[in-house]
Amino acid sequence: MSSEFVIHLAGEAVYTVLKTSAPMLVIGLVVGLIISIFQATTQIQEQTLAFVPKIVAVLLAILFFGPWILTTLVDYTYNLFNNLHKFIG
């Protein structure tokens, strides 16, 4: 296995992880920002208030984006095995 091949596979893996986790991270960030603005305007300083809405938002995002994430991961896995098969055989 050449070093370029391994670096390419590692780069594709990192890109796939970032691409599939981005929707949940962005939604969690937006919900956290909205909760923080709400806390600042009402002067409620409860640290645990932001956890439940963020967890619910991320779980809903996983349900909504789940099929796309699964398709992306299956495509990556297929391409990974296909590239390894071409390289080995």
Region 65-88: what's the mean pLDDT?
90
> How do residues 8-60 score in pLDDT, each as one tens digit?
889 999 999 999 999 999 999 999 999 999 988 988 888 788 889 999 999 99
Rounded to whole angstroms, the maximal C-alpha distance in the chain is 65
pLDDT of 34: 94
Number of domains in the chain: 1
pLDDT of 8: 87
Q: Which residue has the higher pLDDT, 85 or 73?
A: 73
pLDDT of 89: 62
Q: Whole domain around residue 78: which residue ranges? A: 3-88
Q: Backbone phi, then psi, for 6, in 5-degree steps?
A: -65, -45
Q: From 55, 70, 52, 67, select the one nearest 24 (Cα to Cα).
A: 55
Residues in CB range of 13: below 8 A, 6 or more apart:
76
pLDDT of 21: 96
